[in-house]
Amino acid sequence: MKRIFVTVVLLIIVIKTEAQSSVFTTVDNLLLKGDYKKALVLLEEQQPKTEILLSKIANIYETIGNYNKAIQYYNKILKIEDNVNIKVKLGNAYKSAGLSTNAILIFEDIIKKDSSNLLVINSLGKLYLLKNQPNKAEKIYRFLKKKDSLNPNYPYQLAKSLAKEHKTLAMGQSYLDAYNIDTLHFKSIYELAKFFKTLKYKDSTMLFIDKGLKIDSTNVNFIQLKATELYYSKKFKQTLNYLNILDSLKFKSVNTYQMAGLCYYNLKQYDLAEKSYKNALRIDRSNAVILYRLGTLYYQQKKIKLAKLFLFQSIMYGKGDLDKQYFLSGVIAKEENNSKMALSLFQDSYKNNSNNYKALFQWSVTSDFYYKDKKIALKLYQNYLQRFEKKDSEISKYIVNRIAEIKKQYFIEGEIVN
């Protein structure tokens, strides 16, 4: 009797397994058509819930981006069987769902039992970087480098770890290691261009920028780097060529428009400079730097009302040091014979940046002109010499002579001043 029962049970299992196989074929056809909803309904209806069935459901949920559902089904499988492959999939699902701490725990558990799975170790290293644990990531990628010395990704990721630890030179060397393994490793080439730019090694910077552009001539990051290097070399026409390429690629940013404006300004093409600055303002209407640039441009063109308007807006929207804005506004007020206003603006300029020696000088000179009490200007002149005597020989010479004249005048009037 028992034999008959066992035989019947086995027969039922075989029949159901064959039925599931038929369902899997139907599901695969549905998935090829993109009809994952029907596929899931069919799979959910099936019994028994075997590891293969649950894995099929979990894979579909993961493919369509429903990671929480995928996690749910992978965990169901692990309750039935301790399967390393399913654990890896569960870890990846946690990672994709943004649950990186859970993913780390899963991957760490896998590695404790088997340290030969380099793919899992690499994923763990990336998660350590994501969770800002660079020391752990560094150990991971040093280990991976030893295991596979021909993979450029490992020294590249090691460099990322070292960057987070502020080990700048070691970082640069690691990027070089990646590049030496694969001279077409695009990400390393980009990082090396930035690295040498930080060190102010122009030749090396341009070398890696040009290598990047040779691989991908339309890469926005490399084009921006090229334009920046050319601009700081004062090659304004060449800079504009690369900025125009960015524009043709529909790349628009405040920085690129500002750079174009500065190039046109230096080339004395003021109309084009104005157009570029206004393009920048279309992106960021309250950008204090661009507003200042326009104010400066209009002052250069003697459009004083516009200059004052944009300088005022720049001060209104600005944060941090606004000494340049206040200073130019002071210059305009002084030219308009509004000494009281100029005095206030030069004072504000110096208070915003106490290293702006020109602001202190103009504050001193304007005080000398505005106040009858010359002791006010005398004190400012002396303060200037104490701080900036060696900054500008012509200004210092003027101040020394003016101090002597003020003291002489007070002496004539019967008063000795220090």
- Residue bearing tokens 């504000």: 348
pLDDT at res. 6: 39
150/89 Cα distance (integer angstroms): 27
25/15 Cα distance (integer angstroms): 16
In this structure, what token pair is assigned to residue 76?
A: 């169901």
Residue 357 · residue 391 · CB < 8 Å: yes
21/374 Cα distance (integer angstroms): 101
Tell me the pTM: 0.82
- Residue bearing tokens 């341009």: 206
Residues 113, 116, 119, 124, CA torsion sign = positive
φ, ψ for residue 353, nearest 5 deg: -150, 100
Question: What CATH architecture applies to the domain 115-182?
Answer: Alpha Horseshoe (1.25)
Of 399, 359, 356, give the one whose Cα is nearest residue 378: 399
3-state secondary structure the chain: CHHHHHHHHHHHHHHHHHHHHHHHHHHHHHHHCCCHHHHHHHHHHCCCCCHHHHHHHHHHHHHCCCHHHHHHHHHHHHHHCCCHHHHHHHHHHHHHCCCHHHHHHHHHHHHHHCCCCHHHHHHHHHHHHHCCCHHHHHHHHHHHHHHCCCCCHHHHHHHHHHHHCCCHHHHHHHHHHHHHHCCCCHHHHHHHHHHHHHCCCHHHHHHHHHHHHHHCCCCHHHHHHHHHHHHHCCCHHHHHHHHHHHHHCCCCCHHHHHHHHHHHHHCCCHHHHHHHHHHHHHHCCCCHHHHHHHHHHHHHCCCHHHHHHHHHHHHHHCCCCCHHHHHHHHHHHHHCCCHHHHHHHHHHHHHHCCCCHHHHHHHHHHHHHHCCCHHHHHHHHHHHHHHHCCCCHHHHHHHHHHHHHHHHHHHHCCCCCC
Residue 240 · residue 261 · CB < 8 Å: no
Residues 6+ apart with CB under 8 A from 302: none
Whether omega for the bond prior to residue 48 falls within 30 degrees of 0, making it cis, is yes
Of 89, 125, 131, 126, give the one whose Cα is nearest residue 106: 89
- Residue bearing tokens 């002579």: 401
213/222 Cα distance (integer angstroms): 6
What is the full per-residue pLDDT of the chain (418 aa) written as tens digits? 445 443 433 333 444 445 556 778 888 888 888 878 888 888 888 888 888 888 889 999 999 999 999 999 999 999 999 899 999 999 999 999 999 999 999 999 999 988 899 999 999 999 999 999 999 999 999 999 999 999 999 999 999 999 999 999 999 999 999 999 999 999 999 999 999 999 999 999 999 999 999 999 999 999 999 999 999 999 999 999 999 999 999 999 999 999 999 999 999 999 999 999 999 999 999 999 999 999 999 999 999 999 999 999 999 999 888 999 999 999 999 999 999 999 999 999 999 999 999 999 999 999 999 999 999 999 999 999 999 999 999 999 999 999 999 999 988 887 777 7
Distances (CA, A) of 33 to 22, 87, 158: 17, 29, 42
Q: Where are the domains of the chain?
A: 115-182
197/35 Cα distance (integer angstroms): 51
